[in-house]
Amino acid sequence: MDVARTEVAVRPEAAVRRTRAGNAARLALMAGPAAFFALFFAYPVAAIVARGLKSDGVWHLGRIVDVLGQDGIRHVLWFTTWQACASTALTLAVALPGAYVFARLDFPGKQVLRAVVTVPFVLPTVVVGTAFLALVGRGGLLDAWWGVRLDTTVWAILLAHVFFNYAVVVRTVGGLWAQLDPRQEEAARVLGASPFAAWRRVTLPALAPAVAAATLMVFLFTFTSFGVVQILGGPAFSTLEVEIYRQTSEIFDLPTAAVLTIVQFAAVGAILAVHAWTVRRRETALRLVDASVTARRPRGAGQWALLAGVLTTIAVLLVLPPAVLVQRSLTAPGFGYYRALTGQAGNVFLVPPIDAVGNSLEYALAATAIAVLIGGLAAAALARRDAGRLVRGFDALLMLPLGVSAVTVGFGFLIALDEPPLDLRGSWILVPLAQALVGVPFVVRTMLPVLRAVDARLREAAAVLGASPWRVWREVDLPMVRRALLVAAGFAFAVSLGEFGATVFIARPDNPTLPVAVARLLGRPGDLNYGQAMALSTILMVVCAVALLVLERLRIDRTGEL
């Protein structure tokens, strides 16, 4: 009896020790990412806001009211919101039929077409803007055939946003749609409901959380649009992100830029909060549906017509702009624009523009290494579900770079990181650090679901046998999440390769990145500069597409395991 009582007393004590060791390990894992975000995100952003709203040690908060009272700023706020709403509505109208086709219909080439649909989303915004400029701008396809130009119009911006976000709706809504049991809708049809009524009363309520999540994601991406509006909008249209760039780099009005940064941060923070709530609702809905549905061949004239319409939309909206971009880059005889990239005559750089390819690859690889290290540590810290307020706050911290202007972060780097011990303005590492800030959230969101799927009992058994937290991670978690780690690295690489908002401030003239080089060439007059911009955009598009294909190959192996 005494022995039994002793064992009962010892087991809770051992459990307490393991819990304390786990909490200590979690705090140790959080220390690195927290320090990284404090030094390279919070500090630069706070520095630029303080520079704009503080003088002689006194905060001038009245500047916020003064700035927001300006007619030009109110117009920017209105256009930012209006174009985001219009872009979101147009994207949903165009992409929802595609979501149905990919979820419910089976046809030859479906997997290849799914990859084609996804390519635009990983393309840098500079490439998207350049592709539509080649299609609807001066000398573009519409100009050559019908004498119609849409550049510097709101329609060019809206269509480019649909091109960029089409995959968001197809992946988010289509993924859930494929898991809904069609027999529920068929049962409503048997009971006398019309096809539309059955869809409205049965399928739509189940899809509502996914549609809401996709809507908020598209709205977020279009609300913070920079590269597309910068290239296609011209001087007539300016979003918050573009206006922050203009106020800092052209007018040097830091108070106005600081106020706009605060406004954008508050707005995007609210969007992210609503998105997190919507995602939680979506996860609850997914547990209630039957996921055993398989797609089938189209039946009837209606489904065949829908499939034809979706294929036509993809060909015109998603395939044609990149194809025209490639065609425009080849208009000079003998690959003239590509050969011109190797020279320096007439260009705006201290080095041949082709050097931007090597620079971008080197920066992206360094940024990927940083993002995987920081994001991997953060995901490991968040893997356990028994999260308190501190851990939930840490999770929110990791998403903050999505809610702050990349332009603000880049300019903040120049202002804040210019004194010892953080005098990095002349260091090459500055660009990868800025790119890694954007890549870390993608790494965390890719790895976290897989880490949370690991059976906690495996970790506990290894700990009981005397394994240290590091050995538990190496022996238990790492073998199961290796593929997810590679996928996360692919996302980080693609995002880093196309980062433009922050890099445009901190990339040195002798080491430009591909997006910066494209933007600078487009800003210079002359057919040679324009053709070189098309050639560089094509190179960047090909590199991103190859990265996506590798990513898709890693995501699902032949056995269907992640």
CB atoms within 10 A of CB 81: 15
The whole-number average pLDDT for the span 445-457 is 72
Q: What is the pLDDT of residue 421?
A: 74
Pick left, alpha or beta for residue 52 (phi over 0 → left; psi -120 to 50 → alpha; otherwise beta): alpha
Q: Amino acid identity, residue 73?
A: I
- Tell me which H or E stretch contains 54: strand 54-55
Coil, helix or strand at residue 284: helix
Q: What is the pLDDT of residue 7?
A: 44
Q: Amino acid identity, residue 113?
A: L
Name the percent of the chain lying above pLDDT 70: 78
pLDDT tens sequence across 329-342: 888 887 888 988 88
pLDDT tens sequence across 89-103: 999 999 999 988 888
Give yes or no for a contact between 499 and 435, defined as CB atoms under 8 angstroms apart. Answer: yes
The whole-number average pLDDT for the span 471-476 is 70
Give yes or no for a contact between 205 and 188, defined as CB atoms under 8 angstroms apart. Answer: no
Q: What is the pLDDT of residue 89?
A: 95
Number of H helices, E strands in the chain: 27, 4
- As a whole number of angstroms, the distance between CA 215 and CA 173 comes to 10
- Of 160, 281, 248, 298, nearest to 505 by C-alpha is 248
Lowest mean pLDDT segment, chosen from 28-32, 367-371, 458-462: 458-462
**Angle, to 10 degrees, between the axis of helix 320-329 and the axis of helix 527-555?**
130
291 has pLDDT over 50: no
450 has pLDDT over 90: no
- As a whole number of angstroms, the distance between CA 475 and CA 314 comes to 45
Provide the pairing of β-strand 422-423 with 418-419: antiparallel
162 has pLDDT over 90: yes
User: Kindly report the CA angle at 210 between 209 and 214, in degrees rounded to 5?
Assistant: 120
**Angle, to 10 degrees, between the axis of helix 527-555 and the axis of helix 478-498?**
170
Enumerate the β-bridge partners of residue 296.
105
- As a whole number of angstroms, the distance between CA 559 and CA 272 comes to 35
4 has pLDDT over 90: no
Give yes or no for a contact between 22 and 386, defined as CB atoms under 8 angstroms apart. Answer: no
pLDDT tens sequence across 95-126: 999 988 888 888 888 877 887 887 787 777 88
pLDDT band at 385 (very low <50, low <70, confident <90, very high): low
pLDDT band at 20 (very low <50, low <70, confident <90, very high): low
The whole-number average pLDDT for the span 48-70 is 79
Residue 260 has which token pair? Answer: 């706009």
pLDDT tens sequence across 214-231: 888 888 889 888 888 888
